[in-house]
Amino acid sequence: MPMAIRVEVKAEEKDKFLANFSSSGTSVYVDLGKEKTNGPNPLELFIGSLASCVCVYAKKYLTQHSIEFKELQVSANAEFSKDSPTRLVNIKIKAFTDAKLSKTEREVFLRFMKNCPIHNTVIHTENIEIDLVWSNK
């Protein structure tokens, strides 16, 4: 049975939201504020999740194959689309490491990183349902 992930986000004061992740028991503030904020905005959180997933998979690969490294970092960039619908485009992920890898090993390593679940979800999900549950108290 696949692991179920459940997140509940509650609107709080001003431009702040609290995301509670029941599977890990953690919480993150999501903030739309323009000045000092308590957390990332939703787009930063999305791109950060993608970069984090790639980094986790990169470390997993290097560790499982006993490949030594001192540095491992993943960066991500994205732009807003200029046309409708509003979305992020030109998402670029770059992984940096000092691990000694041959050309063939680098190709396998890259394929492994591209198999992170968030990347696969972005590439292969055709439909995301958004429903309204009306509370008329």
Looking at residue 82, its pLDDT comes to 94
Assess whether the previous peptide bond of 2 is cis (omega < 30° from 0): no
Cβ burial, residue 58 (10 Å; 0-12/13-18/19+): buried
Looking at residue 34, its pLDDT comes to 77
The interaxial angle of helices 117-124 and 42-64, nearest 10 deg, is 130
Contacts of 70 (CB under 8 A, 6+ apart): 98
Alpha-carbon gap, residue 31 to 39, rounded angstroms: 5
Average confidence (pLDDT) per 10 residues, the chain, 137 residues: 82 91 91 81 94 97 97 96 94 97 96 95 92 84
pTM to 2 decimal places: 0.87
Looking at residue 5, its pLDDT comes to 87
For residue 97, give the amino acid letter: T
Looking at residue 1, its pLDDT comes to 47
List, in sequence order, the alpha helices (H) in 1-137: 42-64, 103-113, 117-124
Nearest residue to 33 via CA among 3, 56, 59, 12: 12
